[in-house]
Structure 1
Amino acid sequence: MMTLAPARPASPTVPGPTRTASVPPSAGMGTRTKGFYRHDLDGLRGIAIALVAVFHVWFGRVSGGVDVFLVLSGFFFGGRLLRGALTPGVALRPVPEVTRLIRRLLPALVVVLAVSAVLTILIQPETRWEAFADQSLASLGYYQNWELARTASDYLRAGETVSPLQHIWSMSVQGQFYIAFLVLIMLSAWLFRRLLGKRARAGFVVLLGALTIASFVYAIIAHNADQATAYYNSFARAWELLLGALVGAVVPHVRWPMWLRTLLAVVALAAILSCGALIDGVHEFPGPWALVPVGATLLFILSAANRYADPHTGGRIPAPNRLLASKPFVALGAMAYSLYLWHWPLLIFYLAHTGNSRVTFVEGAVILLVSGLLAWLTTRYVEEPLRSRGTVAATAPVSKVALRKRLRRPTIVLGSTVALLGVALTATSFTWREHVTVLRANGKELSVLSLRGYPGALALVDNARVPELPMRPTVLEAKDDIPVSTTEGCISDFDNVDIINCTYGDTAATRTIALAGGSHAEHWITALDLLGRAHHFKVVTYLKMGCPLTTEEKPLVMGDNRPYPKCREWNERVMPEIIADKPDFVFTTSTRPWNIKPGDVMPSSYLGIWQEFSDNNIPVLAMRDTPWMVRDGDPFFPADCLADGGDAISCGIERSEVLSDHNPTLDYVKRFPMLKPLDMSDAVCRADHCRAVEGNVLLYHDAHHLSATYMRTMTDELGRQIGAATGWWSD
């Protein structure tokens, strides 16, 4: 059994190729300069797509294929444009370039998106349809990488199932590069030809060299700051494409001795083949380690550079280049774009259908075979007809004009069909998004639901009677059933280290509870706000997404274990401020779930926090953390499970899996007398099971945050515990 992907829920492990606009219609995926066609680069593309697919299906690792394709895209498209700009008298025309891009990139993409939309409706729960609609629009608009970067940095969506369209991010990066590079070259050519004349070449080299260096430096900085977001960042990836463009411009002028070219080709191919096994690209790219596949691709391109300089050298190219120029590799490279488009959705939909998180060797082989068949069909019957303008047989018995019309008629029909599919997909995506928006607008009544009809937690702690009523929030309402502090921007996001203070409860009160930590402290604001109004205390927020109060030197994002250096920086800022503000109590979480075994634990990195508060005579209301919904080591959404036909029990989790028999906080009360343990576990879970629905109310709005509606039903029990801990009131 081989894993699908690393533990990160929305893991950015999906590289991919796009077909470039520099290829002659009859030439597939190669490139032509001075009459010499690089079939070996077709083969390299075939090798890269094979690595991408194999590593995705069986190993769950990044193969480095995305970097190979980025360099090749820059080489094909950027190098050709740059060579044209450096050639005096050559006119650069943007409209034909854009038209060629659209004709070669969109048809196959639209077909795959349309099929994926149908499979989403048939296989995925309706709670996933909105995300698919968003990503369909992002894919068609070539901003999928930014959509994924946004969701990767959105803590409320960080646990969503891997999207069947996640792989299209790299196409978006390349599409953005094509347009930006086209504009850059057009403007620079106009300027340099007038100002620099014969020295225009130096101007281009300086400009592109500076951009390449700036992009590489930015990639390192962004990688260190937030690798998951940087993975999708266009400018953090631009240096790879720019290097390809620069090599594409200079390659006709490079000459190497045969022994050196052979050595370079062997080393380059070995590096490309071994990259995925030796480098953890999921966490290391687009940082400095990306130089390995990028550099290897550049070396392989340059290994046959002599053929550019002298196309009459016969078959004297290195053996690795000759191997990749053979028909099997060239054929695989010719359909690389379609194979890349198909293999990932088929894998994801198969896993969604079976409910598994991994595939066997046989299952993976079948997925690859089906992907290859669909890729061949798409290349043969969609890409090639629309990429070609039609040819006329010299010996045709009819006139050339009549034959051209006859040959173009099926192409027009095919093009119109693809265009209609794109329009239908766009309209359907917008319609579903609007439908969900209307449903959630109706969900505003959740804040005033009757406790008699929707007792929620009261069914557990007070044995309240539960009438037969529809569950609220519904599976589509759940996503937006979040704390008011989130909607009002009172919690710092992943990139922000500022301290954001908002006040809730009785804002004029003299007694203060500081609500501090991550989103698992934040979701208690719904009940704390109600209690503050009733018992005359104010609640001041000190919150940051995914960041509890901790002394951890190298904190990680809980759930996917991403490095989170800004959490430490924020902690270093927030602790002195809380102490200076001297609240009556600090309310924060005191436990976390184990990552390695069932139950929960009080992390040792919390002890320094308790000590610091104790040293400053600030008591702590230490809330035991909410159970996390986890299956096979990955978070799952109860709302998805319910939408897929599950029930309150099957969409829940065994209590012993997420909660220890004993609250770990109690072990530290003697050491820290000012630590006041709070434990609402019995208001969330039954004696043996944590169900998805209690008292007609859905507990979670995602995998591990309580819905605001359920939190309101916990107010009375939380009030009893806080009253006893503070002595401010009693029941």
Structure 2
Amino acid sequence: MGARKAGFYRHDLDGLRGVAIAMVAVFHVWFGRVSGGVDVFLVLSGFFFGGKLLRGAINPSAPLRPVHQMHRILRRLLPTLIVVLAGAAVLTVLIQPETRWETFVNQTLASLGYYQNWELANTASDYLRAGEAVSPLQHIWSMSVQGQFYLSLLILVMGLAWLLRRPLGAKLRPFFIVLITALTIASFVYAIIAGNADQAWAYYDSFARAWELLIGALAGALIGTVRWPMWLRSLLGFIALGLIVSCGFWIDGVNEFPGPWALVPVGATIVLILAAANRQSSPRTRDKLPLPNRMLAWRPLLTLGGMAYALYLWHWPLLIFWLAWTGNERAGLLDGAAILLISGVLAYLTMRFVEEPLRQDSAARQSWRTGVVATIVVLLGVALVATSFTWRIHVANARADGGELAALSPRDYPGARAVLDPHLRVPNVPMRPTVLEAEKDLPMSTDDKCISDFKNGDIVNCVYGDPNGRRTIALAGGSHAEHWITALDLLGKKHGFKVVTYLKMGCALTTEPVPKVMGSNAPYPQCRQWVDKVMTKLVEDRPDYVFTTSTRPWNIRPGDVMPKGYVGIWEYLDAAGIPVLAMRDTPWLVKDGNPQVPKDCLSGGGDAVSCGIKRDVVLAETNPTLAYLTQFPLLKPLDMSDAVCRPDYCRAVEGNVLIYHDSHHFTSTYMRTMTAELGRQIGAATNWW
């Protein structure tokens, strides 16, 4: 895009694309960080598309052709995306375990429909899916944001131009400038607010990202109006280029963007856009540009910039598939260089034989080769959609409903009873839930939406067990407290007590000023606000017992620990005279700092032992809660570790039942097999039976 026909084409910005894609790929492959290069792309996309759209809208002689504009965008972007998705689909089948295919299918459809950012935002805010392995399509979120921006801005600008061209006349230009400025400010303010509330969501939020594209569009609308001396352009250009190249080292983009720190790469890009705004840029006229822009118009950078879109799409899935195949956490120097080289070759071939033939505007310039390429791309697209929906149907048919899993034979599927009684005979029958069933083998409270999600700060109370029971257990905390509801519900119905939920995703009861989401260590300020409300309500409701978790795994060494933030909770409840059923937390399956997901491991050819973990890696020799019993006499420790792990090892499957549905949450099927032992421990702690 650009204004090539008008004699004004920004070759230096093509070179800036080359710098940006180099930073993105290098930082992804060798540093595992966000470089700020994507933010440069967003600004440039806003500049080229938005600027051209606005200039055309305010020109009374320019025709308004929104359908033509959208057709050009899709013809430019969609074919390459389809080719990369098809290649990634083949590698997924060859490399990834079957349990990952459903996620890939969902994200393929989201990528084709340009809503991948929302698919990822929902995944990031879903605690039960937040620990999944990194997706090979994760990077396509930015393309979805751009696609949504293109469509929204096209509708807005074309619609307003159609309505206001005649009545406003020459005033239409300042009207659009004021409008885009207001939208930019609104989006930036929203990005700050959304980032403070839920950074993981804000990172993918289209409106939180919109200001980066809108400010580029605004620069495109103001192009040619800025006057500043050449020495100042060169100085600021060098500073801007330095910031773009270096910001990935000193800004934690994952936890800071798209908030105020994104102003660094965004502002630097705007400076480079405006530095040569009044000069025609071409390889022949580079001496008329400020020196930094002349450097950006260097031919190798122009070539890299021309490949930028395809290279962006190819490098990430190749990196993720390589890491999945090798089991490495990060690429080294040589294999990283190989990934970049292969990505570059594939990007060049895609640009040369897919992008360029299909980009021709004139029918006279198109050839039979163009028709062949277009036909192949269409067939690939149809195949992707068809196979995606077919796999969805297969998975739905392969999954049993909760009723079937709840009715499994205790003789064939003893589960935890096989761990508690080593002499119990276990029949040789297929494991349940299967690796495909495990994804949906969740506690009833999740299906009933009786747990507040990351964005919901309200207390959600639901009643299980015996609703008419005279005694009450308050189930409070995060999802690690929640998954005990399956057994507590059965015990409540049997022994005549009710279970009332006070649950929030990823939020254990703690007095930490700023709790962190376990696993990602992302700040979670809303958790503390929610805990304060829950503690007040628990004192008002006065349940007979509060059931919650009392330990967490160490992040820095083997075993588990009772965090200091939990002590404040015990003090609060002890002062209120409310006893606590303190459950030792679930053993988290983590190997080499990464989650070990048994269903993925089993699907990839592992067994119950290889997909498990040594007990002393995840559990201390004694329950850390026991050290606090003298200080808190109302603390009643519960420890189900011996129903999950053998004396030396925590296996992935026991008694023909899969224990975990991810790396740290029990399947409801296994939880049902622990009911008797949990009942024995609660009975001893409460003297209710």
Partners of 1:515 and 1:281 in 2: how far apart? 37
SS of residue in 1 equivalent to 2:270 = helix
Tell me what 1:43 maps to.
15
Residue 454 of structure 2 corresponds to residue 505 of structure 1:
no
Partners of 1:410 and 1:681 in 2: how far apart? 65
Output the amino acid matched with 1:257.
P
Tell me what 2:393 maps to.
434
Deviates more, 1:106-115 or 1:260-269: 260-269
Alpha carbons of structure 1 residues 253 and 33: separation in structure 2 relative to 1, 3 Å: farther
Contact 1:443 1:477 in 2 (8 A): no
Tell me what 1:119 maps to.
91
Partners of 1:492 and 1:391 in 2: how far apart? 56
Tell me what 1:665 maps to.
625
Contact 2:9 2:281 in 1 (8 A): no
> In the alignment, which of 148, 154, 157 is matched to residue 129 of structure 2?
157
Task: Tell me the CA shift for residue 258 of structure 1.
Answer: 1.1
Residue 607 of structure 2 corresponds to residue 647 of structure 1:
yes
Residue 76 of structure 2 corresponds to residue 104 of structure 1:
yes
Partners of 1:725 and 1:365 in 2: how far apart? 60
Tell me what 1:361 maps to.
333
> In the alignment, which of 510, 525, 530 is matched to residue 490 of structure 2?
530
Write out per-residue CA displacement over residues 282-336 of structure 1, whole angstroms, 9 at most, x where no aligned residue: 1110110000000000000111112169999883211111111121010000010
Tell me what 2:186 maps to.
214
Output the amino acid matched with 1:181.
L
Task: Tell me the CA shift for residue 507 of structure 1.
Answer: 1.0
Tell me what 1:410 maps to.
369
Contact 2:14 2:297 in 1 (8 A): yes
Contact 1:34 1:308 in 2 (8 A): no
Alpha carbons of structure 1 residues 716 and 188: separation in structure 2 relative to 1, 3 Å: same
Residue 527 of structure 2 corresponds to residue 567 of structure 1:
yes
Alpha carbons of structure 1 residues 619 and 63: separation in structure 2 relative to 1, 3 Å: same
Tell me what 1:471 maps to.
431
Tell me what 2:672 maps to.
712
What value does the CA root-mean-square deviation take over the aligned residues? 1.6
Alpha carbons of structure 1 residues 589 and 408: separation in structure 2 relative to 1, 3 Å: same
Partners of 2:448 and 2:357 in 1: how far apart? 52
Partners of 2:189 and 2:425 in 1: how far apart? 62
SS of residue in 2 equivalent to 1:37 = coil
Partners of 1:102 and 1:590 in 2: how far apart? 53
Task: Tell me the CA shift for residue 487 of structure 1.
Answer: 0.3
> In the alignment, which of 197, 213, 226 is matched to residue 254 of structure 1?
226
Output the amino acid matched with 2:358.
L
Contact 2:395 2:436 in 1 (8 A): yes
Alpha carbons of structure 1 residues 485 and 645: separation in structure 2 relative to 1, 3 Å: same
> In the alignment, which of 570, 577, 594 is matched to residue 610 of structure 1?
570
> In the alignment, which of 245, 253, 263 is matched to residue 217 of structure 2?
245
Task: Tell me the CA shift for residue 35 of structure 1.
Answer: 0.8
Task: Tell me the CA shift for residue 437 of structure 1.
Answer: 1.2
Partners of 2:281 and 2:652 in 1: how far apart? 68
SS of residue in 1 equivalent to 2:288 = coil
Contact 1:351 1:358 in 2 (8 A): yes
Partners of 1:673 and 1:313 in 2: how far apart? 82
Output the amino acid matched with 1:204.
F
How many residues end up aligned between the 2 structures? 688
Write out per-residue CA displacement over residues 617-671 of structure 1, whole angstroms, 9 at most, x where no aligned residue: 1110000001001111121211000000000000001101110001000000000
Output the amino acid matched with 2:377.
V
Write out per-residue CA displacement over residues 222-279 of structure 1, whole angstroms, 9 at most, x where no aligned residue: 0111111100000001011111011111112222211111112111111111111111
Counterpart mapping for 1:244-283 below 5 A: 244-283=216-255
Contact 1:46 1:332 in 2 (8 A): yes
Tell me what 1:349 maps to.
321
Partners of 2:248 and 2:98 in 1: how far apart? 35
- Which runs of 5 or more structure 2 residues have no equivalent in the other structure? none
Deviates more, 1:46-55 or 1:441-450: 441-450
Partners of 1:667 and 1:313 in 2: how far apart? 76
Partners of 2:532 and 2:7 in 1: how far apart? 63
Contact 1:505 1:536 in 2 (8 A): yes
Partners of 1:156 and 1:244 in 2: how far apart? 37
SS of residue in 2 equivalent to 1:670 = coil
Write out per-residue CA displacement over residues 698-722 of structure 1, whole angstroms, 9 at most, x where no aligned residue: 0001110000000000011001100
Contact 1:252 1:309 in 2 (8 A): no
Residue 653 of structure 2 corresponds to residue 693 of structure 1:
yes
Tell me what 1:401 maps to.
none
Output the amino acid matched with 1:634.
N
Tell me what 1:580 maps to.
540
Contact 1:585 1:620 in 2 (8 A): yes
Task: Tell me the CA shift for residue 201 of structure 1.
Answer: 1.4
Tell me what 2:588 maps to.
628
Partners of 1:298 and 1:258 in 2: how far apart? 16
Q: TM-score, normalised by structure 1?
A: 0.92
Contact 2:595 2:663 in 1 (8 A): yes
SS of residue in 1 equivalent to 2:508 = coil
SS of residue in 1 equivalent to 2:163 = helix
Partners of 1:309 and 1:692 in 2: how far apart? 62
> In the alignment, which of 406, 420, 423 is matched to residue 382 of structure 2?
423
Partners of 2:96 and 2:283 in 1: how far apart? 54
Alpha carbons of structure 1 residues 33 and 300: separation in structure 2 relative to 1, 3 Å: farther
Write out per-residue CA displacement over residues 526-579 of structure 1, whole angstroms, 9 at most, x where no aligned residue: 111111111111111111111111111000000100111110110111111111
Identity among equivalent pairs (%): 69
Tell me what 2:139 maps to.
167
> In the alignment, which of 78, 83, 86 is matched to residue 55 of structure 2?
83
Contact 1:148 1:232 in 2 (8 A): yes
Write out per-residue CA displacement over residues 455-488 of structure 1, whole angstroms, 9 at most, x where no aligned residue: 0000011332211000000000001111001100
Contact 1:492 1:543 in 2 (8 A): yes
Contact 2:416 2:644 in 1 (8 A): yes
Residue 549 of structure 2 corresponds to residue 599 of structure 1:
no
Output the amino acid matched with 1:222.
A
Output the amino acid matched with 2:204.
Y
Tell me what 1:68 maps to.
40
Partners of 1:41 and 1:368 in 2: how far apart? 22
Partners of 1:418 and 1:610 in 2: how far apart? 62
Residue 415 of structure 2 corresponds to residue 456 of structure 1:
yes
Task: Tell me the CA shift for residue 391 of structure 1.
Answer: 8.0
Deviates more, 1:381-390 or 1:536-545: 381-390
